[in-house]
Chains A and B, each alone.
Chain A
Amino acid sequence: MSKKILPLVLGAAMGVAATTAAGATTLEDVKAKGFIQCGVSQGLPGFSNPDAQGNWTGLDVDLCRAMAAAVFGDASAVKFTPLSAKERFTALQSGEVDVLSRNTTWTMSRDTQLGLNFAGVNYYDGQGFMVRKDLGVTSALELSGASVCTNTGTTTELNVADYFRSNNMPYEIVAFEKADEVVAAYDAGRCDVYTTDASGLYAQRLKLTNPGDHMVLSEIISKEPLGPVVRQGDDEWFNIAKWTLNAMLNAEELGVTSANVDEMKASDNPSVKRLLGAEGAFGEAIGLSNDWAYNIVKNVGNYEESFNANVGPDTPLGISRGVNALWNKGGFMYAPPVR
């Protein structure tokens, strides 16, 4: 008995050490378990929000579904983990999620100090302010002396501190852990101002008792490029995340939609052929099958379809493309070519 214990303990310890040290790649892990674990928000309409049936929908959710379509050819091979702003990076670092697609701002410190990589930008956002219309405030520079509600642990908290400080305006910050509690406190009148990314303000306004009584001020006080994040040190998975987003953008640029993708496969345009895998072996180069982009567009759609379905003018959020239009239509969205 006694002779057995020691080797058992040491063996177990070494066994664990061996598996953690060697570490299969994320793609191998994902293929082995059969789905992608995707970190999303705890409910932000338009970006990641469960609908009445409990299905996750949104722009950020579509990116995860597109990655699942690229890897498995099946947009439903994805499970979602709702994360608070505070938990999100730890969850990704520790491997609890494979990709974080949670309206997360790309900043230098996050990109360099946290062991993470941003795989691009799927929404160009900026921080704004929402106030009650009856305050009669028209500019953010009139917010001196206001109480400001926001989320803890976000770049928002830092931007608002910078903004009020640089304009020499006193303020009181009230920072909550969860977005729902921020909304409740703002709705109760605890704060004069609610600040977060402008897209978030439009989304959260829908949750207020009387959305029509509130307005978003026109000032944008920061750059908030939101994008998907993966762990640093796994270039294969990083490439898949990066090129999934690029494929959706390129598909829009080339006019490939979920409706016409089958016809487009027979297109004469070499760019379309390369994208959809009719020419070259671009899918294999990132460890996937050659019809990876075909699967993305077929199952999820291109960027425009995703944008219009989730946050576009015909949705309750009613956000216009603005800076999120393609580069050749006056926006910032520019994907490197597939070639």
Chain B
Amino acid sequence: MSVMEQDSAGAPARASLMNDPKVRSIFYQLVLVVAVVALGYFIVSNTITNLERQNIASGWGFLENTAGFGTNQSLVEYSETSSYGRALYVGFLNTLLVAAVGIFFATLLGFIIGIARLSNNWVINRLAYCYVELVRNIPLLLQIFFWYFAVLRAIPGKREKWSIFDTFHLNIGGMRLPKPIWEPGSEWVGYALIIGIIASYFVSRWARKRQENTGQQFPVFWSAMGLIVGIPIITYFVTGMPMTLEHPNFVESGPILRQGFELNVGINVIPEFLALTAALSIYTASFIAEIVRAGIQAVSHGQTEAAHALGLRNGPTLRLVIIPQAMRVIIPPLTSQYLNLTKNSSLAVAIAYPDLVSMGGTVLNQTGQAIEIIGIWMAVYLSLSLITSAFMNWYNQRMALVER
């Protein structure tokens, strides 16, 4: 500030205001702000004018009207008499489901393939290499079509089935599983699960303190597993097994269309969901594999040698030394793969999986409310992406190098 004052005092014959860098910069910024606001105003007012001129009704009232169309998968109660808003909500939940399941399997498969890429075993190494190069270079939509149309033809038709242990069944109508029916008293199993999780948290804290004080290790993983799995199982038997399984019902006689699996008995995982999840997971896993490989290779080999010199075996070296450092490199690109998977799930529309885009598209066509529906789509995908990246940033900060 003082420098400026000196300047203006020491330069009586100063140039015009136009050449003052500070004034100019403020002026340009002002112009930019005005231009952006004017553009925004123009877009909004132009849209409103045109909608009115074309007699297109706008607003959100349509969300409460009766939808009148059905769907083949909904996680919440939905029927043809539900509202358009409800239909969009069903689509939103279906998107969340396929994204969550897809992310889980993509991560699992991606880590396995990524580590296999670094294997000293030549066959495993090459197989992983071929997987990555083949899968990531074929467009996702083609892979979805492959899983849906090509694989679909290979599995048995509606009046036949493949069964495993007579419990899991597969045919062209989907995968049928037994459905758990919870009876009164089963809430205690839920409470037991919560108690198990809390208890294992305290055990792990206690074990860490003890190791810091005495250097003695405690089998935290196995004891936590025992608490989380064991307590609910014991509770389940103590409360007298308050759960039954509703098995899918395979009808073999009667009218031909009633043969095959009875509708709405047991759980039916629709083939559209299976194909979409398989395609998304397998495709994204090929990218995650490369990220994992890069992350592990980014940790200098000296770290491994140092860990070995300290007497750590291969397992603990990987778990305690290499992976924590590799995670710092892995997490940021992994986040963008998760975002990609979520957004790619909108390709569901090609194979009749009722996700947000598919359900929204139907609503759009029935109501003609294009601007509102597209607004909802954009808002939902944007918030999903922001929430995912917020979570991954938080996780990244936790994993970041702590400088002491």
- Contact in complex: A157, B173 (CB < 8 Å): no
Q: Which residue of B lies closest to A13 (CB)?
A: B42
Measured between beta carbons, the chain A residues less than 8 angstroms from B39 are: 9, 13
Q: B255 CB to closest chain A CB, in angstroms?
A: 7
Decide: A158 near B68, CB < 8 A? Known: A2-B31, A176-B351, A177-B350.
yes
B57 engages A113 (CB within 8 Å): yes
Closest chain-A Cβ to B160's Cβ sits at a distance in Å of 10
Q: Which of B125-133, B289-297, B362-370 binds A?
A: B362-370
B55 at the interface (CB under 8 A from A): yes
- Contacts A135-B257, A174-B272 given: A152-B152 contact, CB under 8 Å? no
Contacting pair A158 B366 (CB below 8 A): yes
Q: How far is the CB of B143 from chain A (nearest CB, A)?
A: 15
A9 and B257 CA atoms in complex are apart in Å by 65
User: In the complex where A2-B31, A153-B362, A161-B68 touch, is A114 in contact with B352 (Cβ < 8 A)?
Assistant: no
Q: Which of B3-11, B46-54, B218-226 contacts A (4 or more CB under 8 A)?
A: B46-54
Do residues A144 and B257 form an inter-chain contact, with CB atoms below 8 A?
yes
With A and B bound together, what is the CA distance between A192 and B258 in angstroms? 11
Find A93's partner among B56, B263, B351 (CB 8 Å cutoff): B56
B148 neighbours in A (Cβ, 8 Å): 185
A275 to chain B, nearest CB (A): 33
| Contact yes or no, B361 A188, CB < 8 A | no
CB-contacts of A138-173 with B (<8 A): 142-147, 149, 152-154, 157-158, 161-162, 165, 170-173
A144–B258 CA distance with the chains assembled, in angstroms: 7
Does A5 make an interface contact (CB < 8 A)? yes
Task: Kindly state whether residue A32 has any CB partner on chain B within 8 Å.
Answer: no
Binding-face segment, B69-77, B299-307, B317-325: B69-77
Complex formed: what's the CA distance from A143 to B56 in Å?
Answer: 39
> In angstroms, how far is the closest chain A Cβ from the Cβ of B373?
10
Q: Which residues of B contact A114 (CB under 8 A)?
A: 56, 368
Asked if residues A189 and B362 are in contact (CB atoms below 8 Å), the reply is no
- Besides A2-B31, A89-B368, A93-B370, 7 other CB < 8 A contacts? A5-B31, A9-B39, A93-B54, A142-B257, A158-B69, A189-B153, A190-B172
B157 within 8 A of A: yes
Instruction: Encode B17-38 as 1/0 by CB contact (under 8 A) with A.
Output: 0000000100110010011001
**A152–B361 touching, CB < 8 Å:** yes
Whether, in the assembled complex, A137 has its beta carbon less than 8 Å from a beta carbon of chain B, the answer is yes
For window 119-162 of chain B, which residues contact chain A by CB distance below 8 Å?
148-149, 152-153, 157-158
Partner among A17, A143, A154, A172 whose Cβ is within 8 Å of the Cβ of B72: A172
Q: Number of B residues contacting the other chain (C-beta, 8 Å)?
A: 54
Q: Which residue of A lies closest to B154 (CB)?
A: A188
Complex interface: chain A residues within 8 A of B172 (CB)? 188-190
A17, A90, A178, A231: residue with the most chain B Cβ atoms closer than 10 Å: A90
- Rounded to whole Å, the gap between the CB of A269 and the closest CB of chain B is 41
For the complex, is A210 an interface residue (Cβ under 8 Å from B)?
Answer: no
Contact with A along B352-381 (1 / 0, CB 8 A): 101000100110111110100000000000
**Residue numbers in B under 8 Å from A142 (CB-CB):** 255, 257
| A143 cross-chain contacts in B, Cβ below 8 A | 257
Candidates B38, B53, B57, B358; contact of A10 at CB < 8 Å: B38
**Inter-chain contact A146/B349, CB cutoff 8 Å:** no
Tell whether, in the assembled complex, residue B149 and residue A184 are in contact, meaning their CB atoms are under 8 Å apart: yes
What total count of A-B pairs have CB within 8 Å?
A: 157
Taking CB atoms, residues of chain B closer than 8 Å to A177 are 349-350, 352, 358, 361
Q: Given A21-B49, A161-B68 in contact, is the A86-B361 Cβ separation under 8 Å?
A: yes
Set B49, B55, B361: member contacting A115, Cβ < 8 A: B55
Residues of the A chain whose Cβ atoms lie less than 8 Å from the Cβ of B157? 189
Which residues of A lie under 8 Å from residue B49 when comparing CB positions?
20-21
Tell me how far the C-beta of B256 lies from the nearest C-beta in chain A, rounded to whole angstroms: 5
Determine whether the beta carbon of A86 is less than 8 Å from that of B149.
no
Main secondary structure of the interface of B (DSSP, over half): helix
Q: Which B residues are CB-close (under 8 A) to A154?
A: 365
A181 within 8 A of B: yes
In Å, the complex CA distance between A144 and B350 comes to: 27
**Are A232 and B55 within 8 A (Cβ)?**
yes
Chain A nearest Cβ from B362, distance in angstroms: 5
State whether A173 touches B69 (Cβ < 8 A): yes
Residues on A with C-beta less than 8 A from B258 are 144-145
Smallest CB separation, B39 vs chain A (Å): 7
Tell me the bound Cα distance from A177 to B28 in angstroms. Answer: 48
Report which residue of A21, A174, A232 has the largest number of chain B beta carbons within 10 angstroms of its beta carbon: A174
Is B80 located at the chain interface by the 8 A CB criterion? yes
Q: A6 near B: Cβ within 8 Å?
A: yes
Near A by CB (< 8 A), chain B positions 256-274 give 256-258, 262-264, 271-272
Most buried by B among A85, A135, A152: A152
User: Is A153 in contact with B28, judged by CB distance below 8 angstroms?
Assistant: no
User: Within 8 Å of chain B (Cβ to Cβ): is A136?
Assistant: yes
**Which residues on A sit within 8 Å (CB–CB) of B72?**
172-175
Q: Which residues of A contact B56 (CB under 8 A)?
A: 93, 113-115
Per-residue A-contact encoding for B324-361, CB less than 8 Å = 1, 0 else: 00000000000000000000000001111010001001
Note all chain A residues with C-beta closer than 8 A to B370.
90, 93
Q: Can you list 28 A-B pairs, Cβ within 8 angstroms, ordered by A?
A: A9-B39, A13-B38, A13-B39, A16-B46, A21-B49, A86-B364, A109-B366, A113-B56, A113-B57, A113-B367, A137-B257, A144-B257, A147-B158, A152-B362, A153-B364, A153-B366, A157-B70, A161-B69, A172-B72, A173-B69, A176-B351, A177-B349, A177-B358, A185-B148, A185-B152, A189-B157, A190-B271, A233-B55
Contact between chains at A181 and B350 (CB < 8 Å): yes
Q: Determine the distance from Cα of A85 to Cα of B349 in the docked complex, in whole angstroms.
A: 13
Given contacts A152-B362, A157-B69, A158-B366, contact A2 B149 (CB under 8 A): no
Q: Determine the distance from Cα of A175 to Cα of B351 in the docked complex, in whole angstroms.
A: 8
Are the CB atoms of B358 and A2 closer together than 8 Å? no
With known contacts A21-B49, A143-B257, A232-B54, A174–B80 Cβ distance under 8 A: no
Give the residue of B34, B42, B53, B153 whose beta carbon is less than 8 angstroms from that of A17.
Answer: B42
Q: Which residues of chain B come closer than 8 Å to A174, judged between CB atoms? A: 72, 272, 352
CA distance A146 to B255 in the complex (A): 11
State the CA gap A8–B354 with chains docked (Å). Answer: 47
Q: Give the shortest distance, in Å, between B22 (CB) and chain A (any CB).
A: 14
Minimum CB–CB distance from A266 to chain B (whole Å) comes to 45
Evaluate whether A181 and B263 lie within 8 angstroms (CB atoms) in the complex, with A93-B56, A135-B256, A190-B152 already known. Answer: no
* A181: B residues at CB distance < 8 A: 350-352
Which among A13, A144, A154 has the greatest number of chain B C-beta atoms within 10 A?
A13
